[in-house]
């Protein structure tokens, strides 16, 4: 399939080591993302163009808005609540204990506002990670084991199908999703490993149920139909795109994070936008990313 080339805008400059977890907050009209290695949480204000930065105490694997002013951040072993007004962190739930080599990676919410989060041995050295669900009452449950690099969590527009990527396998998997129980059924391969160039990293699901998959190492985004058929390839000016999210007032701007991690000096010189946050208009409309609807304790 021939790659498309679209105009793009640079939202945040190049040089981020491992930009990830692009998430558009519809309520605030702002984009959240992270640099895992910095480690930093970042926010772009569409109205002013300002970028705010919060430095985390340890590696940060994801950021997800809540229904309030705070956001959830996934640190090494657990999720915490970041209040952007004060910069303070408050622990919410511990997902892993006894795995000092592990860190959390990738987090998204289902359409009901439950949080899904992956864990991994850093750099995916061993398939010892997992996939966790955090309910709105903060009950945690490990739903999947033997994961190397969790990525690509997403849900169909009606919330009745879930997709997931273990980047090490290069496949996109799919399962029927019980919206009442908040659990996936048996997993099956939706997109084969050789269906598109590169390795599947983060993704987002659009209003038609198509999956937009960032292709790490191949410098492009692939769109797959709900049936898993490749129907578009869009070239990017960065070789290591990592995540994407539709945003803007009409949810028709696709924001894409990227990385410089492990690029040689020669590769960096040839790729001046590596690590930048980009925006493009691919003539498609996204869906609002659901916030985490945790049941915050009420004041006495």
Give the active site residue among 166, 201, 206, 231.
Answer: 201
| CA–CA distance, 157 with 73 (Å, rounded to integer) | 24
Query: What strands lie across the sheet with 8-12, from one edge to the other?
Result: 8-12, 277-280, 253-258, 241-247
Name the strand (E) or helix (H) holding 109. Answer: strand 102-109
Q: Is 52 a catalytic residue?
A: no
Query: For residue 234, what are the contacts with CB-CB under 8 A and spacing of at least 6?
Result: 3, 4, 5, 6, 220, 221, 222, 223, 280, 282
Q: How is residue 145 written in tokens?
A: 């084991």
CA distances from residue 207 to 8, 102, 214, 228, 257 in whole angstroms, order as listed: 21, 34, 18, 16, 21
- Annotated catalytic residues are 201
């Amino acid at each position: 399939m021939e790659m498309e080339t679209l105009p793009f805008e640079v939202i945040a400059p190049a040089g981020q080591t491992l930009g990830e977890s692009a998430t558009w907050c519809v309520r605030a009209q702002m984009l959240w993302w992270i640099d895992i290695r910095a480690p930093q949480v970042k926010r772009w204000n569409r109205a002013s163009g300002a970028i705010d930065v919060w430095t985390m105490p340890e590696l940060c694997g994801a950021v997800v808005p809540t229904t309030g002013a705070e956001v959830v951040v996934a640190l090494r072993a657990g999720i915490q609540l970041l209040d952007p007004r004060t910069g303070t962190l408050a622990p919410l739930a511990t997902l892993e204990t006894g795995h000092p080599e592990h860190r959390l990676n990738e987090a998204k919410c289902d359409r009901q506002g439950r949080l899904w989060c992956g864990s991994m041995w850093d750099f995916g050295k061993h398939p010892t990670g997992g996939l966790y669900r955090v309910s709105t009452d903060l009950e945690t449950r490990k739903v999947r084991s033997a994961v190397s690099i969790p990525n690509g969590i997403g849900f169909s527009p009606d919330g009745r199908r879930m997709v997931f990527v273990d980047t090490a396998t290069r496949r996109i998997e799919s399962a029927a999703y019980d919206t009442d129980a908040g659990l996936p059924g048996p997993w099956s391969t939706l997109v084969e490993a050789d269906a598109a160039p590169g390795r599947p990293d983060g993704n987002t699901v659009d209003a038609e149920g198509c999956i937009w998959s960032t292709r790490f190492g191949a410098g492009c985004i692939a769109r797959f139909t709900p049936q898993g058929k490749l129907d578009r390839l869009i070239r990017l000016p960065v070789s290591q795109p990592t995540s994407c999210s539709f945003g803007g007032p009409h949810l028709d701007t696709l924001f894409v994070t990227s990385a410089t991690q492990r690029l040689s000096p020669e590769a960096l010189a040839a790729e001046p936008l590596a690590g930048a946050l980009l925006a493009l208009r691919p003539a498609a409309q996204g869906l609002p990313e659901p916030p985490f609807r945790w049941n915050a304790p009420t004041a006495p």
